[in-house]
Structure 1
Amino acid sequence: MSNTPEVQTSKFVYYVSLIFVLCVVGIGLMLPVQFGGFTGSVFTFLTKYMGWWYMLAVNFFVIFCIVLAFSRFGSLKMGKPDEKPEFSTMSWFAMLFGAGHGVGMVFYGVAEPLINYIVRPFGATDSAQAAEDALRASIIHWGLHPWAVYAVIAMCLAYFQFRKGAPGLFSSLFLPILGKDAARTPIGRIIDVAAVFATIAGVATSVGLAVMQVNSGLHFLFKLPENITVQLSLIVILGFFYTFCTATGLDKGIKLLANSNLTLCIVLSVGLLLLGPTLPIIETSMAVIGNYLSHFITDSFRVAPYGGSYRSWLDDWTLYYWAWWIAWGPFVGSFVARISRGRTIREFVAGVLIVPTLGGVVWFSIFGGTALHIQVTGIADIAQTVKDNIGVGVYLMYDYVPLGSIMSVLMMALLIIFVVTSASSSTYVLAMYTSDGMLNPPKSRMAVWGTLQAGLAFVLLLTGGIKALQTSSITAAAPFSIITVVACWCLWTALNKDFPKGVEVR
């Protein structure tokens, strides 16, 4: 196969992507101040002029998933008609969480509700309403919308790859437009390069956030300094582990990590539920579900056209999240497609949208609810400290919970395993994207992309911390939001062409 056009395509995508990412990393290292200023300008421009589009796109993805699940195509298998799922339902859920949300939920589970409590984006005037609004605002970002982004990409990829025999490349989504040789066309190659950049930018953001929180935890628990030297050391260590785990394959390293994540999540959640304010947590979870559902449409389209205090919060939080999820879309979508082969579209949408959303509600109700209970009841004033240093939030909360020191260490272990899982998954996908969509890509390319993800995460931390991390996601999401909308049209067109009315869908 060494003389086929596919390998030439692979080399083009691989080397162009490699050169582009190396240039970004190099510029960031040589000109950190200028790079930080540039990313800040990009962030301001995109949130100001593209914010409405991000909001519209993610809402479209939610609607598309629901329509497809309840349509006559809901019974269609993402794979051959007689194929069975490759992974058990529990392992499937575990890998979904590990790849899609893990690092972010650990990082923001305590910090985001406390910051929302201070900022009060919906204008609450009393503390009780402010606490409810704080959790409602958090669940907006961790509910149906992000999983809809992943789901539409996964369904598109799974159909064209497993039903149509196309390579596992992002350009394969555009077979109805570009033809069966989509990956060899100039537009197809550009799309595949863009998918690589979006993936590496999105995951570098998560690696950077995780390193910041691990460093904060080491400082809080063991007085280790919080500085770029320690963070670089952590990136090197984590980079080695997630690259090694990627090389062991899906069935061994990544699956084992994902199952470990889920087990630790359950232990920590149940532990805090029993050791913390149990009754307020239970009541909080009920209130969160009610508030989320009753305000869902309003909150989904709230864009602050006349400015005001909500606008700043919208830019820094909601629009950042929507862009982050879209930037993660190519990676998580590809990974979710890979582990979901053999499931029907209806089963897939139910599993990918509803179950993780409920998991997010439970997580934020337990961890965010406990932190807000500490704040609102006057046990301690921790919100401002967390606002100044997001990474310390969960460790500070554990200071007021029995067995908090032990739980803090377990939480740090969970965070490390989560980032290794996410980065392992993305390294696998990057190697697949730059190897003609091979389901078992070369280990040498896994090593290259694992190293470059770590390098970009370090550059972003060096040149602007959280703001630079946010900017990388928003920048990568700008073209991909459009690409993903077009991919939805391609899938709908292909389904109607392959299964016209009157033809059995199976």
Structure 2
Amino acid sequence: MASQSDNVSSPIEDFSPTVFFGAIIAIGLLIAFALYDTELATARFAAVQSWATHNFGWLFVGTANVLLVASGFIAITRIGDMRLGGADAKPAYSPMSWFAMLFSAGMGIGLLFYGVAEPVMHFSNPPISSFSDPGATLPQGLARNAQHAMGLTYLHWGLHAWGIYAVIGLALAYIAYNRGKPLNLGTFLNTAFPWLPKIVVDLIDIMAITATVCGVAASLGFGASQINAGLELLLGVPETGVVKAIIITVVTGLATLSVAMGLDAGIKRLSEGNMALALGLAIFVFVAGPTVFLLDSFIQNLGYYIQRFVYLSTWTESYTAEDWQSNWTIFYYAWWISWSPFVGIFIARISYGRTIREFVGGVLLVPSLFTFAWMTIFGDSALYIELFGHGGLSEAINSSMPDALFAFLGHYPLSQIASGLAILIVATFFVTSADSGALVTAMIASGGHQEARFVPRVTWAIAIGVLAGALLYAGGLQALQTAAIVTGLPFALVLLAMCYGLLKMLLEKQPPVTQLPGLETGSDEPVTAPAPSAG
């Protein structure tokens, strides 16, 4: 089966020294600063995060809403009938295979890290809003806070996150499959805005690489903290910076080995096994926990999310002078934006032959519903313990977020086995995130080629691990959050420009489609696509 890369020049010809070395220098300076003066770096990271969230929270909220609305507009208009690859194109994957990969993209370290912690923290520390009661002690007030906690969790992990991914993924898929261009951000921008100077396009590619590396590094930092918490619980391994550094080193080494071997030889099988383990853990919690309560809660949570959708989507905390949204909603939107080049390229790569309506509907709805089910199983099970059970999770989680999942599993039978399985799942997500992030980053740096060379792939795998370790050492989770916010801020403007460019091109008279070898067969044969996790 021919590959798409047969249609374009070799990676060596498209290698951009400006992009590759520019990104390496930017990331290297960030690592050096984090390690040179830890106290100064921590203070600076905190100051930058505070400045970005207080002054540009409106930009993050506005960007997420604009991209979601644009996705909906594209899907419901006649544009939705257009097929990626041309009228005669056949999907490269069957619906089940395509949906399975969307599930994989929607699962990641973030869901394991926040699945229990976030709903409980929103419940115990609710924001000041018309739908919550921060001082509630009576059952009615606690129930209201629990419901609002799940509504906020759905907001952070639902349609807005996938609206961001849908726009960038569709833009890249359209330019690759309907215009016959390399699968690359710079190529899209050159096509949509031919007047842009090359140095500006290169800077945006550098920013995309930096955002991807920082976004993946943030997830790896969360994963290392959670693995360390689990090992302390099961084996008494102390929760220290040195142990986390060792975890990052070991897993980065495994990811580097995997990325060197290629996708089909390692990462594909690992991802499939990882998904099976994650589903197994979710089914265990669902069956062993308050099953009927979870079924009821899933329906009610969806209803609450739909009813309060406009309010939740446009709430900016402007009248309360609080920092709650800065630490949660703004961080999430910045995180999704920093991940958008990574996940967008993956989604584009697997979506040849889909109509635009199928693409948008599948990308928005399938991962969102799966994530809602995951958050309901873990989040509502934790809230059930707080409302009707022994309680105590709020204190444990507010004390240490990485401990949340294991403190929760301690309330279930076979808790030691379940905790060991959770550690294994986090570790495999860790490897697949670093591996896939390295592949996508190498693709960006090589002009959009799916077959990036060995040295760039390994270089980026190592860079992601080193950055995660350096930021975790310099300022813990706050440094990792700052990295995501800082890289997401300028890229929000790029996404808005890409949204405008995509709408402009889609509304124009369509040029003849350049068929891409190897993707017109409609078979399920893998086409060397990375399988990242979104968070």
Q: TM-score, normalised by structure 1?
A: 0.94
Give the direction of change, closer, same or farther, for the CA distance of 1:391–1:53 in structure 2 (3 Å limit).
Answer: same
Deviation at 1:50, TM superposition (A): 0.2
Give me the whole-angstrom Cα distance separating, in 2, the residues matched to 1:149 and 1:5: 28
Which residue of 2, 17, 29 maps to 2:23? Answer: 17
2:528 match: none
- Within-5 A mapping of 1:250-329: 250-308=263-321, 311-329=322-340
SS at match of 2:304: helix
Give me the whole-angstrom Cα distance separating, in 1, the residues matched to 2:100 and 2:251: 20
Query: Which is worse superposed, 112-121 or 339-348?
Result: 339-348
2:159 match: 144
Which residue of 377, 380, 383 maps to 1:366? Answer: 377
Which residue of 409, 430, 436 maps to 1:419? Answer: 430
Query: Which of the pair is proportionally richer in helix?
Result: 1
1:486 match: 497
1:84-141 CA distance string (max 9 Å, x none): 3333434433433434441111100000011111112243332222211111111110
- Within-5 A mapping of 1:189-208: 189-208=202-221
Query: Which is worse superposed, 81-90 or 312-321?
Result: 81-90
1:105 match: 111
Give me the whole-angstrom Cα distance separating, in 2, the residues matched to 1:103 and 1:206: 6
2:518 match: none
Q: Structure 1: any 5+ residue segments left out of the alignment?
A: 501-506
Q: What is the total number of aligned residue pairs between the two structures?
A: 496
Query: Which is worse superposed, 42-51 or 234-243?
Result: 234-243
SS at match of 2:323: helix
- Within-5 A mapping of 1:395-406: 395-406=406-417
1:67 match: 73
Deviation at 1:453, TM superposition (A): 0.2
SS at match of 1:257: helix
- Within-5 A mapping of 1:46-61: 46-61=52-67
Deviation at 1:71, TM superposition (A): 1.5
C-alpha contact (below 8 Å) 1:281/1:366 kept by paired residues: yes
SS at match of 1:306: coil
Deviation at 1:6, TM superposition (A): 8.1
1:428 match: 439
1:401-450 CA distance string (max 9 Å, x none): 11222111111111112222222221111111111211110011110000
Q: Does 1:240 align with 2:246?
A: no
Give me the whole-angstrom Cα distance separating, in 1, the residues matched to 2:293 and 2:478: 34
C-alpha contact (below 8 Å) 1:7/1:436 kept by paired residues: no
Deviation at 1:80, TM superposition (A): 4.2
Give me the whole-angstrom Cα distance separating, in 2, the residues matched to 1:88 and 1:8: 32
Deviation at 1:210, TM superposition (A): 0.6
Which residue of 311, 333, 344 maps to 1:333? Answer: 344
Deviation at 1:28, TM superposition (A): 1.1
Give the direction of change, closer, same or farther, for the CA distance of 1:4–1:214 in structure 2 (3 Å limit).
Answer: closer
Q: Structure 2: any 5+ residue segments left out of the alignment?
A: 1-5, 512-535
Give me the whole-angstrom Cα distance separating, in 1, the residues matched to 2:11 and 2:90: 32
Give the direction of change, closer, same or farther, for the CA distance of 1:404–1:65 in structure 2 (3 Å limit).
Answer: same
Deviation at 1:455, TM superposition (A): 0.6
- Within-5 A mapping of 1:15-54: 15-54=21-60
Deviation at 1:11, TM superposition (A): 1.7
Query: Which is worse superposed, 3-12 or 331-340?
Result: 3-12
The letter for the 2-side match of 1:410 is L
Deviation at 1:313, TM superposition (A): 1.3
Identical amino acids, percent of aligned pairs: 34
Give me the whole-angstrom Cα distance separating, in 1, the residues matched to 2:51 and 2:172: 31
Query: Which is worse superposed, 245-254 or 444-453?
Result: 245-254
Q: Does 1:390 align with 2:401?
A: yes
SS at match of 1:50: helix
1:462 match: 473
